[in-house]
Amino acid sequence: MADAARKSRLSRSAEFDRVYRSGRSAQHRLLVLYRFDRPEDVPAGGASGDQSRIGITVSKKVGGAVERNRIKRQLREVLQASDLLDGTADYVAIARPGLPEKVEADGFDALVEIVADLAAKLQPATTKR
């Protein structure tokens, strides 16, 4: 299971750059979420090409190593549990300073709510209601 989780992550700088340059973004004062809808000719990497991949960026401005790693684990858990990962896109989440304090003060549900709001803004344009 750990191997599957590792394969569903963005790991190379070029992959992050592609998401930043060609993807769409939604912002909250504590989190930025990018979505890049992969074309058919761009491989997902790893064993299965039909899997969404996640990249998480947390700068030293957010806190020390323990705090940064904790928020990365929490973000990864929220993103993987959400219905966001449909297999057709790559995502990058950028934590901003204040996010760990918000999660600690308001609980894990605050992070779930922030991610859900940003994910709703990034839904593909083809699914109109």
Q: So what's the pLDDT on residue 117?
A: 93
Phi, psi dihedrals of residue 100, rounded to the nearest 5°: -60, -40
Fold that domain 2-121 belongs to in CATH: Ribosomal Protein S5; domain 2 (3.30.230)
- Give 40's DSSP letter: T
Q: Given phi > 0 = left and psi -120 to 50 = alpha, else beta, which region is 104? A: alpha
Q: So what's the pLDDT on residue 9?
A: 84
Give CA–CA dist 95/72, Å, rounded.
8
Q: So what's the pLDDT on residue 84?
A: 73
- pLDDT tens digits, residue range 28-40? 999 999 999 887 7
Give CA–CA dist 129/122, Å, rounded.
15
Dihedral sign for Cα atoms in the order 77, 80, 84, 90: positive
Q: Is the whole model's pTM more than 0.95, yes or no? A: no
Burial bucket for residue 35 (CB in 10 Å: 0-12, 13-18, 19+): buried
Q: Given phi > 0 = left and psi -120 to 50 = alpha, else beta, which region is 40? A: alpha
Give CA–CA dist 8/109, Å, rounded.
24
- The structural domains of the chain, with segments of one domain joined by +, span 2-121
Where does the chain have alpha helices with state H?
A: 2-7, 13-22, 65-81, 99-106, 108-121
What parts of the chain have a pLDDT lower than 70?
A: 1-7, 41-50, 124-129
Q: So what's the pLDDT on residue 101?
A: 95
